[in-house]
Amino acid sequence: MSLTKEIQKRRTFAIIAHPDAGKTTLTEKLLLFGGAIQTAGAVKSNKIDVATKSDWMEIEKQRGISVATSVMGFEYKGVKINLLDTPGHQDFAEDTYRTLTAVDSVIMVIDCVKGVEIQTEKLMEVCRMRNTPVICFINKLDREGRDPYELLDEVEEKLNIQVRPLSWPIGMGKSFKGVYNLFDKKLNLFTPSQRKLSDDRNIINNLEDGQLDGLIGQNAANQLREDVELIEGVYPEFDPKDYLEGKIAPVFFGSAVNNFGVNEMLDTFINIAPAPKSRNAEEREVKPDEPKFSGFVFKIHANMDPNHRNRIAFLRICSGKFERNKPYNHVRGPKPLRFSNVTQFMAQDREIVDEAFPGDIIGLYDTGNLKIGDTLTEGESLTFKGIPSFSPEIFKEVINKDAMKTKQLEKGLKQLMEEGVAQYFTYEMGNRKVVGTVGQLQFEVIQFRLKHEYNASVEFAPMNLYKACWISSKDKKQLDEFVRSKNRHIAKDKDDKLVFMAESRAWLQMVQDNYPEIEFHFTSEF
């Protein structure tokens, strides 16, 4: 198959949401429809003993939340789907932001009871920065939720994007009977089934068909006819071009846990979602159909297999064809790298692949050469944009509880920080180690993983810090003088970049005023 055909058959997207909106459950059902699994797990259910495919880390099973992005690939109706399930919890937002650099489109899950929540708004802002096409899936229609029209208005208002319903619910909560697909003009009625797909599906092609009244009742049938007429009259006709440019968000309704509405969305998604797109490097725009390979690392994960201390770099292919065992230029590194162990994922399950194409996410077994943001190419020096580290909001000093395990602790911290779990700073004076995070939960994850994966015990002592600012200056002499005079407040990050550790907003402002020749940066990418 030609490179162009391989590109056209691929769809790479992320599922994003506020915590507990049903994002991981939706992921399970997409895998179920794609035939990738036979039985869906449940994130928080005592009745179902099958663990979800995408929440596979021990701490995720215990907490019932996603703390790391999972990558899953499967085929559906001749389309190769690369699906990334992201953490919803705001404490792990940075992992989600990085993941959004590696996808071509997004499915945003919204709880029909709670509507648009804070984390949903933040994630949407990241999508808007890149004009990423967004599909909304309004979930949990099996519960008594808010009026569908009210939810559509809220999405438009809070997320600042036009919407166009492409499916419509029949009832809600106990009276919920199914969804009408406005895109295909078909009505599918499902039998509720949490774990397996139901073959018992009624498909009605004409809303005026009298059979509809018999299936869902006259009142519900008349209400659906009125709703569809109103939607077609109020909302403009759906234009896929506007969706691809990020100007309009198609909206689907359903209940992921009961398999309602997921199929309609997936069928429409493979028709309208973008194939792999061009990517901006600092040097130029890189088109997917260029013959020479290029790709960038957006995530690193250590110890996916507890029996083998492996480290896997997740690479998004941007152009050309990747081939196993072929040497590639490591743009930041001193020598080309060759990978004999190249995998594609079904969560933590992996299979070796010999080749991969633009849009694919592959896992490269790595001994420590690669880091987040690195580029691999077939010769050219390229640097893909948009994978910064943000200044953390909570800072704690690392206290080693077992001096005999110092080496294990240092190795564990180094690997976890390279994954992007948190940020790591070492003070120039006194060699104090500080971890910076967006939220409190990250410290629990680090502590848990250090103990269970590296056999290292730590405590975290709170520090009174406001911001970590990366510093630079066009005048090296001035920068050296600043570092000397503020030595007590200077640290280095894991990449040895200089960082000024500010104790308060007012003090930072004063220092900035006193040293105008020093530039203070709130992200590491400057």
Residues annotated within a binding site: 85-89, 139-142
Helical H runs in 130-274? 148-159, 211-216, 218-234, 240-244, 262-272
Q: Is the pLDDT of residue 68 over 70?
A: no
Neighbours of 462 (CB within 10 A): 9
CATH number given to 394-521: 3.30.70.3280
Burial of 100 (0-12, 13-18, 19+ CB in 10 A): buried
By 3-state DSSP, what share of the chain in percent is helix, strand and coil, each rounded to 5? 30, 30, 40
**Residues in CB range of 387: below 8 A, 6 or more apart:** 98, 101, 296, 298, 372, 373, 525
Q: Which amino acid is at 246?
A: G
CATH 3.40.50.300 fits 10-272, yes or no: yes
CA distances to 80, 370, 418, 433 from 494, rounded to whole Å, are 37, 13, 8, 11
Instruction: Tell whether the model's pLDDT for residue 212 goes beyond 90.
Output: no
Residues placed in the known binding site for GTP: 85-89, 139-142
How many CB atoms within 10 Å of residue 214?
10
Q: Where is average pLDDT lowest: 27-31, 149-153, 421-425?
A: 27-31
Matching fold, domains 10-272 and 394-521: no
Instruction: Write down the domain spans for the chain.
Output: 10-272, 279-377, 394-521
pLDDT tens digits for 137-161?
Answer: 999 888 888 999 999 999 999 988 9
Q: Which of 256, 264, 253, 265 is nearest to 224 (CA)?
A: 253
Per-residue tokens: 27: 């992921």
pTM of the shown model: 0.75
Backbone angles phi, psi at 239, to 5 degrees: -115, 110
pLDDT at position 42 over 70: no
The per-residue DSSP string of 262-324 comes to: HHHHHHHHHHHSPPS--EEBSS-EE-TT-SS-EEEEEEEEE-SSTTTT-EEEEEEEEES-EET
- CATH architecture group of domain 279-377: 3-Layer(aba) Sandwich (3.40)
Judged by DSSP in three states, 338 sits in strand
Tokens of 298: 């957006």
Give me the chain's average pLDDT, please: 82
Q: Distance between CA atoms of 61 and 453, rounded to whole angstroms?
A: 16
